[in-house]
Amino acid sequence: MLRILHDTKIDFIRLWKITTIVTLLFILPGLAWIAVSGYKYSIEFTGGTLMQVRFAQAPNIADVRSTLDGAGIKGAEITQFGSDLDYLIRAQDPRVVAQQSRGAESIATEIQAALTKRFGASTFTVQRTEAVGPKVGGELKQKAIYAILLSFLATLIYLAWRFEWRFGVAAVVATAHDILATLAFIKYANLEISLIVVGGILTMIGYSLNDTIIIFDRVRENLRRRQKVSLYDTLNRSVNETLPRSVLTHATVFATLLALALLGGEVLRPFALVMLFGVVTGTFSSIYVAPPLLLWIETKWPRTATDSASPRVKATRGGPVAMSR
């Protein structure tokens, strides 16, 4: 693999228009769909009760739903989970909980009692029960948003210190691209927004950012060593030089996450799917979003003689890259 990718000379920057169109065609419909119908949220964010039940024989879902409706547990969502015998029962509308003046734990007890009365205690077992109050769910949703925003701020501060503001802005925009693309993917894949999915998004942010930093570090190094090469060519050279490492690292991570998605069970599968997509979109943005954006920023706001973070450059292809500091 290293021999195949050794000394590649691919003009990645030239493809920025095509990759921008591809990105917009993927992200914009997803965001429009989200704006129209929103997401499915887990009980960590909505509040309510979740119960995983394993039946001895596969039940009729309509029969289970009518049983719960008859017990006063209206609007419960019943879905198959894993095998034909495992089902998830969600009573997650906080307004229902408030109106009936019952706690989430009380609803779990009533669900079990209703199933016992209808099917018999020996016909099913409760695998797990989760109960979250509406107030706690709202707080968790707020904290998840804060966590993502703080990661943006920390990214910008770190890159401004490590490189300079131009690199920081390019990296933050690339990270924003990854988040928006991942949010669209979550909608397309019909995944439920849960704490483990938020954890996958935050992990993906760090992974993507690390890849961008590696490329930018090589860009900075090449700017100093090759001061008569254009920034356009320097960016392409830097991406090509880091390509073997990126391919090997991403292939290893992708294989691990694929195994986790296939064999890790229903609980870990959403995290693995988000991370799998994050590896793809993070690689894409570190090559096709961050470097072209840095080139555009250099064109609009070229360095002056007072800049000290790195040499002055001309962003146009074939132009001189650097002047003495």
Residue 139 has pLDDT above 90, yes or no: no
Note whether 154 and 214 are same-domain residues.
Answer: yes
pLDDT for the residue 24: 95
DSSP conformation letters of 257-287: HHHHHHHSHHHHHHHHHHHHHHHHHHHHHHH
Note whether 123 and 259 are same-domain residues.
Answer: no
With CA atoms as reference, report the closest residue to 288 among 27, 20, 25: 20
Position with higher pLDDT, 212 vs 46: 212
How far is 4 from 242, CA to CA, in rounded Å?
A: 13
Q: Which residue among 109, 132, 155 closes a domain?
A: 132
Note whether 178 and 237 are same-domain residues.
Answer: yes
Q: Could you tell me if 321 and 230 are in contact, meaning their C-beta atoms sit under 8 angstroms apart?
A: yes
195 is a domain residue? yes
pLDDT for the residue 292: 94
pTM of the model: 0.76
- Assign residue 228 the CATH number of its domain: 1.20.1640.10
Q: Which residue among 132, 167, 193 closes a domain?
A: 132
Residue 318 has pLDDT above 60, yes or no: no
**In this predicted structure, which of 77-81, 221-225, 297-301 has the lowest mean pLDDT?**
77-81
Note whether 186 and 61 are same-domain residues.
Answer: no
pLDDT for the residue 60: 82
Residue 194 — φ and ψ, nearest 5°? -135, 175
Q: Strand 77-80 relative to strand 40-41: parallel, antiparallel, unpaired?
A: unpaired
Which residue range forms the structural domain that includes residue 207? 13-40+137-300
Q: Which residue among 113, 132, 151 closes a domain?
A: 132
Note whether 29 and 67 are same-domain residues.
Answer: no
Note whether 117 and 52 are same-domain residues.
Answer: yes
244 is a domain residue? yes
Residue 325 has pLDDT above 60, yes or no: no
How far is 151 from 37, CA to CA, in rounded Å?
A: 27
316 is a domain residue? no
Position with higher pLDDT, 132 vs 243: 243
Q: Could you tell me if 124 and 56 are in contact, meaning their C-beta atoms sit under 8 angstroms apart?
A: yes
Mean pLDDT in residue range 149-167: 78
58 is a domain residue? yes
Note whether 235 and 260 are same-domain residues.
Answer: yes
Rg, C-alpha atoms of the chain = 25
pLDDT for the residue 5: 58
pLDDT for the residue 163: 75
159 is a domain residue? yes
Residue 308 has pLDDT above 70, yes or no: no
pLDDT for the residue 101: 42
Note whether 108 and 148 are same-domain residues.
Answer: no
Most confident of 11-25, 62-76, 79-93, 118-132: 11-25
CA dihedral 257, 258, 264, 270 (to 10 degrees): 70
Residue 104 has pLDDT above 70, yes or no: no
Position with higher pLDDT, 299 vs 76: 299
Confidence band for 141, pLDDT divided at 50, 70 and 90: confident
Mean pLDDT in residue range 232-243: 90
307 is a domain residue? no
Name residues whose C-beta falls within 8 Å of residue 263's C-beta, 6 or more positions apart in sequence.
Answer: none
Total domains, the chain: 2
Q: Could you tell me if 141 and 38 are in contact, meaning their C-beta atoms sit under 8 angstroms apart?
A: no
Note whether 141 and 109 are same-domain residues.
Answer: no
Helix H or strand E segment including 168: helix 165-188
CA angle 39, 45, 49 (to 5 degrees): 105
Mean pLDDT in residue range 81-85: 77
80 is a domain residue? yes
Note whether 118 and 207 are same-domain residues.
Answer: no
Q: Could you tell me if 196 and 271 are in contact, meaning their C-beta atoms sit under 8 angstroms apart?
A: yes
Q: Could you tell me if 292 and 11 are in contact, meaning their C-beta atoms sit under 8 angstroms apart?
A: no
Note whether 221 and 116 are same-domain residues.
Answer: no
- Assign residue 118 the CATH number of its domain: 3.30.70.100
Note whether 183 and 290 are same-domain residues.
Answer: yes
pLDDT for the residue 96: 46
Q: Which residues pair with 88 in a beta bridge?
A: 52, 79
Residue 132 has pLDDT above 50, yes or no: yes
96 is a domain residue? yes
78 Ramachandran zone, left/alpha/beta (phi>0; psi -120 to 50) = beta
pLDDT for the residue 285: 93
**What is the chain's mean pLDDT, rounded?**
81
Residue 46 has pLDDT above 90, yes or no: no
Mean pLDDT in residue range 126-141: 71
Confidence band for 87, pLDDT divided at 50, 70 and 90: confident
pLDDT for the residue 98: 47
Mean pLDDT in residue range 153-159: 77
Position with higher pLDDT, 82 vs 109: 109
Position with higher pLDDT, 160 vs 90: 90
The percentage of the chain sitting over the pLDDT mark of 90, rounded to a whole number, equals 25
